[in-house]
Amino acid sequence: MIPVFKVDLPKGEALLLTATIGGATTNPTNPNQTDVYTDTFPEGLTIKMPIDEFFDLWMTCYNTELEEVSAIVFTPDKDLDFH
């Protein structure tokens, strides 16, 4: 599963946790938008995407397996100053 994905909002963007989505409905005032209900947004979050496109994105994220990464090593550029 792809655990997190980004969606566009009418104003801004949001990150959604794939596993916490409980459902979605077509927005009653704009059929090109979808109201998504999650554990984090139980009142619903309106996204700029028709429900069919959202369903395809959600199911793709839900059913896609990612390879596990054993280690990520960050090597800062010598020109960066972190102090």
Element (H, E) at 25: strand 21-26
The predicted-structure confidence for 18-51, as pLDDT tens digits, reads as follows 999 999 999 999 999 999 999 999 999 999 999 9
Q: What global pTM score does this model have?
A: 0.77
Residue listed under structure tokens 């554990």: 39
Going from N- to C-terminal start, the domains of the chain cover 4-63
Q: Residue 58 pLDDT > 80, yes or no?
A: yes
Q: Reduce the DSSP state of residue 60 to 3 states and report it.
A: helix
CA dihedral defined by 52, 54, 55, 58, rounded to 10 degrees?
160
Q: Residue 55 pLDDT > 90, yes or no?
A: yes
Residue listed under structure tokens 């596990």: 68
Q: According to the model, what pLDDT value does residue 80 have?
A: 53
Burial class (CB in 10 A: 0-12, 13-18, 19+), 5: middle
